Structure formats: structure tokens, C-alpha cells
A and B are shown apart, each in its own frame.
Chain A
């Protein structure tokens, strides 16, 4: 089963608006990765966060790792139609090399 919870499950966004999706774990994480899967495609790596409180930016995407290393967020500004897809977080717990995926947040964009 899934070790992490992602919310919301679905995100319907007006083009140009911002939104945030969250990834929450009940246990402390070693690191967290974010992936994007386009419809009909395979997951593609976006970013990895390792340090407590770490913040990384990729153009309009901002990724944050919580201070307690139990949660993470992905914030997208000025949403574009190219942002359509499902965003997954994938986590490793301490002393565990298994990479476990959340259920994902599926994003649709209204032009």
C-alpha cells in the first residue's frame, strides 16, 4: 500500500492561476522525489529534496521539504496547459531504499 498521502487527488485550474499540491507522510523521510506523468506516458523525474526545510525552484515550480521531513509541497504559478498531468511524490524512509509513490494529484487546466 501507499506510505504517503497526496492531496488533492484532482486539481482543476484556470490557466494563469496558481495551485499547490501536498505530500504527507506519517514517518520521517530520508528524501523525497517528485515526478510528472503526462496522460499515456511514464513518470518523469522533476526534483529531489533531501534536507529539512529545503526549497528548490524550477521556473514556475517551487518544491519544499518540511522541517520535520514528513511532508512536501509543489507550488505551480501561472499554470499553463503544458502543466497538465499527474504529479507524484515518491519517498524513501530512513534505512529503506524502496522508493514508494503516492497516489498522485491529477491536474487539468481550463484555457
Chain B
């Protein structure tokens, strides 16, 4: 079946603009994670959903970042007033249950100029 799909694959935006990153998880996966990865570093946890609710959003760096998963499937990560420091690869992962293995999408490379 289809894996985790993330769109767009690349996004270039100007400083101060608003962006939305989309994640389409594997069908039936209840858990969904967002991570941010900078060059040479490990994935940095941002937020985790179990179903429709954000079970843990402790990794969101500030209130410019927000994520939703209204129907318990597709999720959108929203970044307001983007800054150059937001440039990174944003990874989405889903898993069948809370403690199961995570399947990652190919990521969205965000560049803020």
C-alpha cells in the first residue's frame, strides 16, 4: 500500500510569510508525528497526535507553529511569520499504535529566504 505522503516536497518562502505543510499518513494509522531535521542532526520532535487530538505538543518551538489533524487522518503543520531559522526538512511519521514502529514520509524541505 501507499506510504506516508508529504506535500510539497520542497517549499521556498519569503521571511514573514505563512506556510502549510501537509502529511497524509498510512491508512489506519492512529498515531502521527511531526519532526524537524536540520543538516547533520537527528529528527527533532515537534508534536504527536493520537487520533484527532494533540497528545504531546511540547516540541513546538513557539506559538508561530501549529498543527491540526481534524479527522484523525491528514495532518497540516502551519507556520506563521516564517523566519530563516525555520529552514529545515520537516518530517512526518505515522504508526499503527502508540508504541509501534514509525513510518516516515520523504519530508518537506522548507527554505525561508
Size bracket of the B interface:
20 to 34
Cβ of B56 under 8 Å from chain A: yes
A92 to B99 CA separation, bound complex (whole angstroms)? 9
Chain A residues near B25: list those with CB within 8 A. none
Interface size on A, residues (CB 8 A): 24
**B42 with A42: CB separation less than 8 A:** no
**A99 with B106: CB separation less than 8 A:** no
**B94 CB → nearest A CB, Å:** 12
Apart from A2-B42, A43-B104: 19 A-B pairs, beta carbons within 8 A:
A42-B91, A42-B106, A43-B43, A45-B102, A48-B101, A92-B99, A97-B48, A97-B50, A97-B55, A97-B56, A98-B48, A98-B58, A99-B33, A101-B43, A101-B45, A102-B42, A104-B41, A104-B42, A106-B40
Residue numbers of B with Cβ under 8 A of A are 31, 33, 35, 40-45, 48, 50, 55-56, 58-59, 91, 93, 98-99, 101-107
